[in-house]
Amino acid sequence: MNDVPFSEPITLKLQSAGERKVASSWEAIECMQQWPDRARGRSWRAAYRACRDALDGWRTAHEARTAFVKAARTAGLLVTGHKST
């Protein structure tokens, strides 16, 4: 299982760690494990699955990144002014 880098890093604002840049599917999975319980809804599960699938070669980095950005935006963790694709 190889890490799958994103085309552009995503910056999140986490309460526990401050700002964090996420640049790959593996980093996204690690980061999502630190999200607050209130942020672990449907979009979180979809992003987690998309990032795992990208690591296994079932999805592209673009698909994983797009799902991760959607989950971060839904959770209110995405730093504003960030491009989603």
Classify 23 as helix, strand or coil: strand
In this structure, of 16-25, 53-62, 64-73, the range with the lowest mean pLDDT score is 16-25
> Would the pTM of this model clear 0.75, i.e. be above it?
yes
Per 3-state DSSP, the chain is made up of helix, strand and coil in percentages (nearest 5) of 45, 20, 30
pLDDT in tens, 6-57: 999 999 998 777 889 999 999 999 999 988 889 899 999 999 999 999 999 9
Phi, psi of 78, rounded to the nearest 5 degrees: -75, 130
Classify 31 as helix, strand or coil: helix
Query: 47 with 71: CB under 8 angstroms?
Result: yes
pLDDT surpassing 60 at residue 83:
no
Identify residue 44 by its one-letter amino acid code. W
**Distances in whole angstroms, Cα of residue 15 to Cα of each of 22, 31, 36, 39, 64:** 15, 12, 9, 12, 23
